[in-house]
């Protein structure tokens, strides 16, 4: 399974669930009054099982891959998630106990009392649910967002393509991927991330661009974006940092170099790549190249120049280097 949240069945929110029960109760009949009222409260129990299943399906947070844990932190407080899971679980158990008690009471009651007892049971269970409404509805929203993260697999070696906007990141993802990249959403940004794959025959490599994440100075970031960077850090792989050396570049050499330095502080392997070499601006090219000490690759993502050399180098690193050997496989779910 790719995303540990993907298969969680999202239950109805608190008031919706209560409404389902309310709408259904008048339609439930029985051979006699007592049987009818018991069937009615058991229908409530059946609906509550949706919350129990929701809690059971939720992955064990302590066993999650750090990439997913960080992603929960982007949108939620992990302690609150744990607290709410516990609160929902206890609420369901309490409701089950109440329903069982009322089932026995109705069974041994006078026929005239049965309907009143059913209504009393309905009221008690509903108020237990309503007292946990904040937790239930909040966790449902969080889980719905986490389900969307499905295209990124933290267990695959990954090429992360960073660089300022418009330097050719998504063009490069599509050029080096075997099939058309998937479009994934990321919890904090409305921008879409492209996720492609390269199958070398030995290993499957994932390629992602990072719009809205690794594309501007740290000083401009809010805490949520910093958490997103932490999540990216936990992906197992290397960063290709793209520079735009073309005449149409909207960023100066200094701006691009400053960002490059910041990205280098995020992950140990960052490979500098000069893109748009087909439309080279000599001055920009010179200023950038002079200021990079590492091995530099020169490509044109759009015109397919230098891509094979770059790709062979990167695949070699990922296949044979320490990066793959250091890989920790985490359990996706509990």
Residues 6+ positions from 137 with CB-CB distance below 8 Å: 13, 14
CB 198 within 8 A of CB 158: no
Nearer to ligand GDP, 65 or 169 (CB): 169
Using the rule CB under 6 A, which residue among 98, 275, 285, 288 binds ligand GDP? 275
Q: In terms of CB distance, is 37 or 298 closer to ligand GDP?
A: 298
Query: x/- site string to ligand GDP, residues 235 to 274, per CB under 6 A?
Result: -----------x----------------------------
Q: Which of 276, 288, 298, 311 binds ligand GDP (CB under 6 A)?
A: 276
Among positions 278, 294, 308, 328, the unique one binding ligand GDP when judged by CB under 6 A: 278
Tell the smallest beta-carbon distance from residue 163 to ligand GDP (Å). Answer: 6
Element at 314 (helix H, strand E) = helix 307-320
Considering the complex, what minimum distance in angstroms separates the CB of residue 210 from ligand GDP? 9
DSSP type of residue 280: B
- Within 13 Å and on the Cβ side, how many CA atoms surround 109? 20
- Closest-CA residue to 254 (of 264, 246, 243): 243
**Total residues interacting with ligand GDP, rule: CB under 6 A:** 17
Q: Which is nearer to ligand GDP, 23 or 220 (CB)?
A: 220
Torsion angle in degrees (nearest 10) through CA of 161, 163, 164, 168: -50
Cα(152)–Cα(207) distance, integer angstroms: 9
Residue pair 129/14 in contact (Cβ under 8 Å)? The answer is yes
Q: Whole-angstrom Cα distance, residue 282 to residue 280? A: 6
Of the pair 254, 303, the CB lying nearest ligand GDP is at 303
| Cβ atoms within 10 Å of 250's Cβ, excluding its own | 11
Residues numbered 5-24 forming contacts with ligand GDP, rule: CB under 6 A: none
Residues of span 299-318 touching ligand GDP by CB under 6 A: 300-303
By beta-carbon proximity to ligand GDP, the closer residue of 113 and 279 is 279
- Regarding 71 and contact with ligand GDP (CB under 6 A), the answer is no
CA angle 19, 25, 26 (to 5 degrees): 115
In the complex, what is the shortest distance from the CB of residue 201 to ligand GDP, in angstroms, rounded to a whole number? 27
In terms of CB distance, is 65 or 276 closer to ligand GDP?
276
Q: Which is nearer to ligand GDP, 175 or 227 (CB)?
A: 175
Asked if residues 142 and 83 have their Cβ atoms less than 8 Å apart, the reply is: no
Tell me which residues in 101-140 interact with ligand GDP (CB under 6 A).
Answer: none
Structural tokens at position 257 = 């170099």
Binding to ligand GDP (CB under 6 A): which residues in 140-199?
Answer: 165-171
Residues 195 and 232: their CA atoms lie apart, in Å, by 13
Per-residue contact string for residues 204-223; x = within reach of ligand GDP by CB under 6 A? -----x--------------
Q: Least distance to ligand GDP from the beta carbon of 215, Å?
A: 8
Torsion of CA 93, 94, 99, 104, to 10 degrees: 100
Residue least distant from ligand GDP (Cβ):
168
- Written as six digits, the tokens of 270 are 């960052």
Phi and psi for 171 in degrees, rounded to 5? -60, -45
- To the nearest whole angstrom, how small is the minimum distance from the Cβ of residue 226 to ligand GDP? 21
Cβ distance to ligand GDP smaller for residue 213 or 315: 213
Where do contacts with ligand GDP occur on this chain (CB under 6 A)? Answer: 165-171, 209, 246, 275-276, 278-279, 300-303
């Amino acid at each position: 399974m790719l995303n540990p949240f993907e298969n969680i069945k999202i239950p109805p929110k608190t008031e919706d669930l209560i409404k389902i029960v309310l709408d259904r109760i008048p339609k439930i009949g029985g051979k006699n009054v007592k049987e009818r009222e018991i069937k009615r409260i058991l229908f409530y129990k059946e609906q509550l099982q949706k919350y129990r299943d929701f809690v059971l399906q939720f992955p064990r947070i302590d066993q999650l891959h750090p990439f997913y844990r960080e992603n929960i932190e982007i949108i939620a407080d992990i302690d609150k998630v744990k607290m709410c899971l516990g609160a929902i679980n206890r609420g369901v158990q309490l409701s089950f106990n109440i329903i069982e008690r009322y089932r026995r009471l109705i069974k041994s009651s006078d026929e005239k009392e049965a309907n009143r007892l059913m209504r009393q049971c309905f009221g008690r269970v509903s108020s237990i649910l309503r007292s946990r409404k904040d937790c239930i509805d909040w966790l449902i929203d969080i889980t719905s967002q986490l389900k969307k993260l499905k295209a990124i697999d933290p267990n695959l070696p990954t090429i992360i393509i960073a660089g300022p906007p418009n330097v050719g990141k998504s063009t490069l993802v599509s050029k080096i991927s075997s099939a058309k990249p998937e479009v994934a959403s990321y919890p904090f940004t409305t921008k879409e991330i492209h996720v492609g794959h390269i199958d070398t025959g030995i290993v499957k490599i994932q390629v992602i661009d990072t719009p809205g994440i690794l594309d501007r100075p740290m000083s401009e970031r809010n805490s949520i974006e910093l958490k997103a960077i932490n999540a990216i850090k936990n992906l197992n792989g290397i960063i290709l940092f793209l520079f735009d050396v073309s005449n149409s570049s909207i960023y100066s050499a200094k701006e691009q170099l400053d960002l490059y330095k910041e990205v280098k502080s995020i992950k140990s392997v960052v490979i500098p790549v000069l893109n748009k070499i087909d439309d080279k601006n000599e001055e920009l090219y010179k200023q950038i190249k002079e200021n990079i000490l590492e091995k530099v690759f020169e490509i044109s993502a759009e015109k397919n120049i230098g891509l094979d050399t770059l790709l062979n180098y990167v695949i070699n690193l990922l296949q044979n280097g320490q990066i793959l050997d250091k890989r920790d496989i985490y359990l996706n779910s509990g």
